[in-house]
Chains A and B, each alone.
Chain A
Amino acid sequence: MDKLNIPTKNRNKAESVAYALDNSDERNQEVNSKARLIASIAVVLPLIIALYHYLPHIIDAFAFDLLKLNPESHLGAAVNFFFYDTIKIVILLFIISSLMGVVNAYFPVDRLRIYLTTKKMYGLEYFFASFFGAVTPFCSCSSIPLFIGFVKGGIPLGVTFAYLITSPLVNEVAVAMFLGLFGVKATVIYAGTGILMGMLGGFVLGKLKLDKYLSDWVREIQDNAIQEQEEWDAEKLSFLDRLPSIIKEGWDIVRKVLLYVIIGIAIGAAMHGYVPENFFTEFLSADKWYAVPLAVILAVPMYANAAGIVPVIQVFVAKGVPLGTAIAFMMAVVGLSLPEATLLKKVMKWKLIGIFFGIITLFIIILGYLFNLVL
């Protein structure tokens, strides 16, 4: 890690130039595979866009002409809804994951850490931490190493929390599901307030001076934190060389959550037909003052990933629950959960987890009321 960068880089370059000259065959092959890559993107991308555009017609033809279902019937509508939403969301998820993959290829979290530790940012660091929490693919198993990595680099606890809050809350899956089921406006509101809440939550938690409630071994790391001056050692790969692995990773994300998307949409489709309207509106309608806190407090211990929960809250909204209450519910489900608390236990004491969860719960409740006022 602490090797001298410049000489190594130059040497690598010299070696690779010599290598390339020696292997003109291999270089031809490389040019060929690049041409193939460009050609296949030029074919596949318009196809995907066309598919997305004509999807309603295609699914109508499939459900009503091919399967001969009655569009008026319950089953016909449910089958149509299920296939349309699933395919639409898979397309959106694939495109969004790939776009986020591009951001991550050029601005990985190691680089963010160096930025956060070496540059004076006058408060903007909360924005950066929160924003990158949103664009990095979320994996709960990565959040602890990240946490330690930030602490080790001497990044203040509040900034670390900003990242930790947004990371599960706003991610490629949540954005794709929101875009597919609620449209652009709700997506922007969700992602925007998610990032804003990461910033504010991180800032407030930072001001509370909670470092003493970190686990002892983490405190030790913090005391020995070193300001890394090392520049980020960028991989010298062209965009085209990176593209295959970016696309592959985007597709991996789709494959991994596909099952949850299908289950979520299936539950949503089933609930549309069979759960009576007053079941939700009894407790969660707009005129009940306690609707927001009730929804949020119920949701905190629960965990579901965004793929599973968005179709369900879409049903809530369709049955008359205000969008703000529904979004608050969703934020509490994906952002805070018992499994996450047990993970965090490795790096912080229960008291800190309690304060962290308490403050974020409060924020989500306030946001829920605000949404209901504004939307």
Chain B
Amino acid sequence: MEIKVLGTGCSKCKSLEKATQEAVALAGVEATITKVEDIVEIMNFGVMTTPALVIDGEIVVKGKVPSVNEIVKLLSK
């Protein structure tokens, strides 16, 4: 599974990255997490509100930091 955390480096983006790492560990899934900070690249995903979470190319969260449990749910879909 390929997970991308989109965000230009604000505090919310960092907490999303942290929550995602915890969720991946909790769900026990095999996943690579990359942080995308380049604004041009972020815009290519078509999100307007950061932070955003992309799982296997699909935007699943944008503009907020979900709880670890919510991310676990998203991962197991």
Among B42, B48, B49, B64, the most chain A Cβ lie within 10 Å of the Cβ of B48
Q: How far is the CB of B75 from chain A (nearest CB, A)?
A: 18
Interface residue A88 (Cβ < 8 Å from any Cβ of B): no
Task: Take A108-B63, A249-B64 as given contacts and tell me if A144 and B8 are in contact as well, using a CB distance cutoff of 8 Å.
Answer: yes
B40 at the interface (CB under 8 A from A): yes
**In contact, A110 and B48 (Cβ under 8 angstroms):** yes
Known: A148-B39, A148-B43. A141 touches B12 (CB 8 A): yes
Verify if A146 is at the interface (C-beta below 8 Å from B).
Answer: yes
Among A139, A248, A249, max chain B CB count under 10 A is at A139
Q: Mark B12-35, 1 if CB is under 8 A from A, else 0.
A: 110000000000000000000000
- CB <8 Å contact, B8 and A141: yes
How near does chain A come to B37, taking the closest CB pair, in angstroms?
A: 11
Determine the residue in chain A with the shortest Cβ distance to B48: A149
Return the contact of A145 from the options B9, B48, B67 (Cβ within 8 A): B48
CA distance A296 to B11 in the complex (A): 30
Q: State the Cβ distance, B17 to closest chain A Cβ, in Å.
A: 14
Q: Which residues of B contact A108 (CB under 8 A)?
A: 49, 63
Size category, B interface: 20 to 34
* Inter-subunit contact A141/B7 (CB<8 Å): yes
List A contacts of B39 (CB < 8 A): 144-145, 148, 346
Known: A108-B63, A249-B64. A146 touches B48 (CB 8 A): yes
A217 to B38, CA, bound (A): 13
CA distance A140 to B9 in the complex (A): 11
Residues of chain A within 8 A (CB-CB) of B40 are 217
On whether the beta carbons of A145 and B10 are closer than 8 Å, the reply is no
- Choose among A113, A142, A150, A152 the residue that contacts B63 (Cβ–Cβ < 8 A): A142
* B52 CB to nearest chain A CB (Å): 9
- Most A CB contacts (10 A, CB to CB) among B13, B43, B50, B65 go to B43
Interface hits, A139-161 → B, CB 8 Å? 139-142, 144-146, 148-150, 152
Residue from the list B9, B50, B67 in contact with A142, Cβ < 8 A: B50
Report chain A residues within 8 Å CB of B68. none
What residue in chain B is nearest A149 (Cβ atoms)?
B48
* Chain A residues whose C-beta falls within 8 Å of the C-beta of B8 in the assembled complex: 141, 144-145
Q: Which residues of B contact A256 (CB under 8 A)?
A: 11
A1 CB–B CB distance under 8 Å:
yes
Contact string against A for B residues 36-77, beta-carbon threshold 8 Å, 1 for contact and 0 otherwise? 000110110011111000000001000111010000000000
With contacts A145-B49, A249-B64 taken as known, whether A139 is within 8 angstroms of B12 at the C-beta atoms is yes
Quote the shortest CB–CB distance from B58 to chain A (angstroms): 9
Contact with B along A89-114 (1 / 0, CB 8 A): 00000000000000000001110010
Query: In the bound complex, how far is the Cα of B39 from the Cα of A346, in angstroms?
Result: 9
Residue of B nearest to A256 (CB): B11
With beta carbons under 8 angstroms apart, the residue of A1, A140, A145, A221 that contacts B42 is: A145
A residues engaging B (CB < 8 A)?
Answer: 1, 108-110, 113, 139-142, 144-146, 148-150, 152, 217, 221, 245, 248-249, 252, 256, 346
A sample of 23 inter-chain contacts (CB < 8 A) reads A1-B46, A109-B49, A109-B63, A141-B8, A141-B9, A141-B12, A141-B13, A141-B50, A142-B49, A144-B8, A144-B39, A145-B8, A145-B42, A145-B47, A145-B48, A145-B50, A148-B43, A148-B48, A149-B46, A149-B48, A152-B43, A217-B40, A245-B64
